[in-house]
Amino acid sequence: MTVPRIAWLPGDGIGVECCEAARLVLDAAGFKAEYTHGDIGWEFWRKEGDALPPRTLDLLKSTDCAFFGAITSKPAGEALKELAPSLQGLGLSYRSPIVRMRQLLDLYICQRPCRALKGNPLNYRDDIDIVVFRENTEGMYIGVEFNQAPASFFNEPAMQRIPRDAAISIRSVTRQASRRIVEAAFEFAVKNGRRKVTAVHKANVLRATCGVFLEAAKEAAARFPQIQFETANVDAICMWLIKNPQNYDVIVTTNLFGDILSDLCAQLVGGMGFAYSGNIGSSYAVFEPTHGSAPKYAGQYKV
């Protein structure tokens, strides 16, 4: 029997000891795999100008999946200041390695289960069992931003009231990407005996982008009549998740909203340390905890 080949990416901060703990569990459970270490993280940004070096991308392409620890990310100005002197002034810009992996490998599903573990005193309620499906490749995280927008932007009538020195981030939502993430949520619900899927949006304000997502969600839902389907505005569901989290089952949404909602749901079951994440595509997957690198705790084995 061929054992799976896993790219092992500890990354920064507590990611190192979290990966060590994960290996202890996997080995104790008798899980057999071939692990290959990969370079990723802030160290490689500072000395090479790339937090996800090409050799690591090659490793990902030659393995079956990856296990990722944590990453340190800093604002653009700080990132540039920490580059090695030989890399200063070369026009380099930092981009999150996990975001790049999601996009380059088309890991369009971010699946984040948030389940209350029996006996956990930090549970908000003991009957919480929510799975968040987050579209992972587009939305606000496509990485197209301008500290000052190109002059051509202001030829559009809608841009006339925007100051010329405004920073602008682009949000891209496509029907195809929206359809496949909603279908993935419904397929999971059917396979796992789930009762309901909630599509989260803000189409009353973000009419173009959330409108596309909502239309695609309704079209996909029509093909799964056995699963209850509902929609909710993102601000409203934040309130209802705090008030009645037991009423929710599978949540599907766009990239930024999914990032926020999955952290909220994690706190309902004890915090970020009790949540985990799968970044899943049609031919590859990267698995990770949902917390950050927590540099102040690095090497202390407290987390």
| Residues labelled catalytic | 141, 202, 235, 259
205: number of Cβ within 10 Å: 10
Six-digit token string for 266: 């994690």
DSSP state of 221: H
Residue with tokens 């030659």: 62
Using DSSP, state whether 171 is helix, strand or coil: coil
Question: Which pairing describes strands 109-115 and 129-135: parallel, antiparallel, or unpaired?
Answer: antiparallel
Do 128 and 141 touch, CB atoms closer than 8 A?
no
Alpha-carbon gap, residue 281 to 35, rounded angstroms: 20
Alpha-carbon gap, residue 128 to 213, rounded angstroms: 26
174: number of Cβ within 10 Å: 16
Alpha-carbon gap, residue 11 to 19, rounded angstroms: 9
Using DSSP, state whether 133 is helix, strand or coil: strand
Using DSSP, state whether 35 is helix, strand or coil: strand
> In the beta sheet, which residues pair with residue 141?
none
Residue 169: which region, alpha, beta or left (left: phi > 0; alpha: psi -120 to 50)?
beta
Amino acid, single-letter form, for residue 11: G
Q: At what angle do helices 255-268 and 234-243 cross, to 10 degrees?
A: 10
Using DSSP, state whether 203 is helix, strand or coil: coil
